[in-house]
Amino acid sequence: MWWGRAVRRVALVDCGPSGIGSDTAMRLARDGFDLSVRRTADDVDGLAAVRAVGRRVLTTGVDLGDPDDVRQWISRTEELLGPVSAAVTIAMAATVDSDSTGLHNIFRAVVVRMMKRQEGVVVAICSPAQSCDSVGHDNCVAGTIAFCRALAADVRRYGVRVNVLVPGRCRPDEVAERVGHLISGRARHVTGAVLRMN
């Protein structure tokens, strides 16, 4: 499988407004991934630090609500950096109920490519509990879990893994550490899992 090969690895990271995205990008860079990152206004310093690690970093302002824009982002990533073997996105409570959300668009587009290569892993991070009201957070969690469990069941036979992280009141670097574990070979048998962090 890809985690045991001496090849350049590429991860797609959707940086959300909580700081989790930039911390996750740094963790994956330290683990040897080149990165394609959807940046936000808060990520400038974090992405500069990632580049300092010595990894290649492609940044974009892609519209996650536009499926064509997302597909173009992934195509450009694979053209410039190589095949995407991991993808991480943050599901925000305000949008998770719609089929046009970034989470759905990213996973649907990237998983098709992973299935053809018979390898890959994607991780959905629910918006942290403190970033939204309790009803919105519960809806986010429920919608993300339902989507990802169904996707995991569909793609497992193709060697693609899908997991969900539900952060509580924990630090962004703690979430990034867990993401790194899920993407690594140490979790190669873990799919369809929902991991809750307090």
pLDDT digits (tens, 9 = 90+) for 153-192: 999 999 999 999 998 888 889 999 999 999 999 999 999 9
Q: What are phi and psi of 145, to 5 degrees?
A: -60, -45
3-state secondary structure of 183: helix
Taking alpha carbons only, the member of 91, 92, 89 closest to residue 74 is 89
pLDDT at 74 over 90: yes
Listed as own residue / partner, the contacts of 139-143 with beta carbons closer than 8 Å and 24 or more positions apart are 139/93, 139/96, 139/97, 140/91, 140/92, 140/93, 140/96, 141/166, 143/91, 143/96, 143/97
Mean pLDDT of 59-66: 86
pLDDT of 4 reads 41
Q: Contact 141/181 with Cβ under 8 angstroms?
A: no
Reported as a single tens digit per residue, the pLDDT across 124-158 is 988 655 545 566 567 778 888 999 999 999 999 99
Q: How far is CA 62 from the centre of its chain?
A: 15
Is the pLDDT score of 40 beyond 90? no
pLDDT grade for 3, boundaries at 50, 70 and 90: very low
Contacts of 169 (CB under 8 A, 6+ apart): 128, 129, 130, 198
Q: For the chain, give percent helix, strand, coil, nearest 5.
A: 50, 20, 30
Residue 12 has pLDDT above 50, yes or no: yes
| pTM, full prediction | 0.86
Alpha-carbon distance 50 to 41, whole Å? 16
Q: What pLDDT score was predicted for residue 41?
A: 54
pLDDT value at residue 169: 83
Q: Which domains does the chain have, with CATH numbers?
A: 6-197 (3.40.50.720)
